Amino acid sequence: MPEVATHTLKENHNDICQSFDCTIAIPPTDQQIDQAFPSPALVLAHSIGRMGIHHEHSMVSEKGRAPIELLPVEIFDQIIPQLAIDVPTNGYSPRNKDLASCLLVSRTFYIATLSTLYSKVAFPHSSIFSKFLAQISKYPELGHLVKRLDFSHFTSVGFGRTKRMTDEIQKLTATTLRNCLDITPNLREFLASESMDEDLDERVLEKLFCELPRLNAVDFCAATAPCFKKGVLSVISPNNPRLPMALPIRRLGMHGCNTLPSPVYATLLPRLPNLTHLDLTHTQITDETLHAIPHTAKLTHLSLSKCNRLTGPAVVDFLINHPATQDLVYLNLLFDTGRYRLLSTADVDVLLPFLPTTLRSLNLSGAKITRDHVPELRRLSKHLEELSIGYADLSITDLNLIVEQDGPHQDGAKSNLHYLDLTGISSVNPTTLVDTNKCQLLMPSSFPLQVLELNEKVTDGLKERRISAKKLGWTVKSQHRRAWYVRAGPGTVPGSEKIAKPLAEETGSRSWKMGGTKWGGRKVGVGYGEVSGLYGYYLYGYQ
């Protein structure tokens, strides 16, 4: 097990690492440690092992050390990560200032902080990656600490360089990326995106799928480049003797990887016996391949949105009868009705009664939903927190019934919906929504309902009804091509005082959102943490 000396930072604050979005801290020499922290007390010996930092021996004098420094390493491992910030503030300004400050406290804090600092590394641009690679190349022990490589914010925009210039600079290329993977043997999560898909060649993919036994999360969001396709076809092939029969990957994101042919999934999916999160949005997955998912898998998050090679009856059969789908928490079956409708009325009839009670988010937008399905939707609303029924053939009365909390239709099905997607429903318009005599969706009685997703035409009309919006406590928000009507406050209508406190306490945070706090996400997260960058676009901004 490789050993490193106990380090602190130089006295010069310009050497402080605030994150890899800013600069890289260079471990000082033992002489510099003594100059910065002169103390007669013995220094704790540590080592960076395969799984992190731990004490090598306990024969250490406690004289001259603060009580907090005597805490077990396991306690530090719970405290220090709370200071980390997953999402870069932007591509250039420093982040993780609090975490960086811990490096200056003492030798003990320095060692305890290193593990967190190197555990999850985000790369907004190639210069940060280059500095990071240089650091772990110089100190390979640090590479053992890396658990996540996050390129979801990566971009070369703003540097005034062509692709050829970037390749010549050799900061982030397939070669340097492969070198990085070689020095990070304990990698758990690799989060890529379309902005770097030309760097995902056969050598990189071979490393990811064949040589990293602890890798349990991979995301190739929207990667479609020819070299990526060529690499995948070569590595994910039954003719590749190095490809394991069982891969360790539990969370797989292929959102928008629409250039990969179906045989890729026919080879890959059966090799994922422990799969829990699967995003196949807009891919060429087929009915046969979908049923090839191992029965040992325990899917909690699944997206089959816009997979035009799937058929409704086969998908319904898979969701009802396959052992892997019995504990689903998130299910996305959104389809563009202008191109393809996956679920017919008959498919919906069969599916709804068998959906598991574990489900919290259900997207059926584009399915042929009629008023006959309202009783089942109302039953599902008892445990669902998100429901998308865009383009359904429903009246305002039908929608009232789905979110109804009290009244003559009491059946024990108190709605738990926080988010309701009504995009494309013809009965939903600005005039009807604010007419509280006919529509109860915006009233306090519909709480905990907080977000309605609507057509942009509808939200434009609601912007003109400011008096009603203020009275009801709702406001319009939008991002890219999506628009929402959001309950921003309790309003002033009768009953609003009852929802003021619970509304203020609602943060939107849920464990099944993988760190997100917003409602209506359309991309399966494979890494825990707040989502932004390109992943945020596909999650909240892309239709």
Burial of 234 (0-12, 13-18, 19+ CB in 10 A): middle
DSSP 8-state secondary structure symbol assigned to residue 44: P
Residues 19-28 pLDDT 10s: 333 333 344 3
What is the rounded CA–CA span in Å between residue 222 and residue 202?
A: 17
Q: Is the pLDDT of residue 56 over 70?
A: no
What is the rounded CA–CA span in Å between residue 485 and residue 519?
A: 12
pLDDT bucket at 106, cuts 50 / 70 / 90: confident
* More confident: 332 or 101: 332
- Sign of the C-alpha dihedral, residues 59, 65, 70, 75? negative
DSSP 8-state secondary structure symbol assigned to residue 492: S
Contact 127, 171 (CB under 8 A): yes
What predicted TM-score, i.e. pTM, was given to this entire model? 0.85
Residue whose structure tokens are 């360790």: 248
What is the rounded CA–CA span in Å between residue 452 and residue 540?
A: 14
Neighbours of 260 (CB within 10 A): 21
Contact 256, 222 (CB under 8 A): yes
Closest CA to 533 of 227, 241, 255, 193: 193
- Structure tokens, 238: 């039954």
Closest CA to 137 of 182, 200, 87, 174: 182
What is the rounded CA–CA span in Å between residue 472 and residue 359?
A: 30
Burial of 198 (0-12, 13-18, 19+ CB in 10 A): middle
Taking every pair of C-alpha atoms in the chain, what is the biggest distance, in angstroms? 80
* More confident: 44 or 425: 425
Per-residue confidence (pLDDT) for residue 73, from 0 to 100: 76
Q: Is the pLDDT of residue 63 over 70?
A: no
Closest CA to 451 of 388, 374, 397, 368: 388
Per-residue confidence (pLDDT) for residue 29, from 0 to 100: 44
What is the rounded CA–CA span in Å between residue 19 and residue 84?
A: 9
* More confident: 93 or 28: 93
What is the rounded CA–CA span in Å between residue 7 and residue 421?
A: 53
Q: Is the pLDDT of residue 274 over 90?
A: yes
Residue whose structure tokens are 């050598």: 203
Every domain of the chain and the residues it spans: 69-118, 123-306
193 three-class SS: strand
Per-residue confidence (pLDDT) for residue 479, from 0 to 100: 86
Q: Across residues 336-356, what is the average pLDDT? A: 95
Contact 332, 282 (CB under 8 A): no
The residue count of the chain comes to 543
What is the rounded CA–CA span in Å between residue 253 and residue 394?
A: 33
Q: Which of 12-21, 52-61, 346-355 has the lowest mean pLDDT?
A: 12-21
Task: Characterize the bridge pairing of strands 217-221 and 482-487.
Answer: unpaired
| Average pLDDT along the chain | 84
Q: Which of 67-81, 159-173, 245-259, 406-420 has the lowest mean pLDDT?
A: 159-173
Contact 255, 223 (CB under 8 A): no
Per-residue confidence (pLDDT) for residue 156, from 0 to 100: 55
* More confident: 408 or 416: 416
Percent of the chain with pLDDT over 70: 81
Q: Across residues 102-121, what is the average pLDDT? A: 82
- Helices (DSSP H) in 7-153: which residue ranges? 30-36, 73-79, 97-102, 107-119, 126-138, 140-143
Task: Characterize the bridge pairing of strands 148-150 and 120-122.
Answer: parallel
Residues 185-219 pLDDT 10s: 999 999 998 888 889 999 999 999 999 999 999 99
What is the rounded CA–CA span in Å between residue 85 and residue 41?
A: 33
Phi, then psi, of 302 in degrees rounded to 5: -145, 130
* Alpha carbon of residue 354 to chain centroid: 27
What is the rounded CA–CA span in Å between residue 98 and residue 313?
A: 53
What is the rounded CA–CA span in Å between residue 483 and residue 308?
A: 25
Residues 3-41 pLDDT 10s: 333 333 333 333 333 233 333 334 434 444 333 333 322
Per-residue confidence (pLDDT) for residue 62, from 0 to 100: 59
pLDDT bucket at 46, cuts 50 / 70 / 90: very low
Q: Which of 64-78, 248-262, 465-479 has the lowest mean pLDDT?
A: 64-78
Q: Is the peptide bond before 502 cis (omega within 30 degrees of 0)?
A: no
Highest mean pLDDT among 58-62, 137-141, 269-273: 269-273
Per-residue confidence (pLDDT) for residue 118, from 0 to 100: 87
Per-residue confidence (pLDDT) for residue 406, from 0 to 100: 61
Per-residue confidence (pLDDT) for residue 178, from 0 to 100: 97
Closest CA to 324 of 272, 362, 266: 272
Per-residue confidence (pLDDT) for residue 395, from 0 to 100: 97
Region for residue 170 given its phi and psi (left: phi exceeds 0; alpha: psi -120 to 50; beta: otherwise): left
pLDDT bucket at 116, cuts 50 / 70 / 90: confident
pLDDT bucket at 88, cuts 50 / 70 / 90: low
57 three-class SS: coil
Q: Across residues 286-315, what is the average pLDDT? A: 97
Per-residue confidence (pLDDT) for residue 48, from 0 to 100: 40
What is the rounded CA–CA span in Å between residue 480 and residue 459?
A: 14
What is the rounded CA–CA span in Å between residue 84 and residue 86?
A: 6
Q: Is the pLDDT of residue 145 over 50?
A: yes
What is the rounded CA–CA span in Å between residue 429 and residue 468?
A: 14
Domain spanning 123-306: which CATH class is it, in words?
Answer: alpha beta
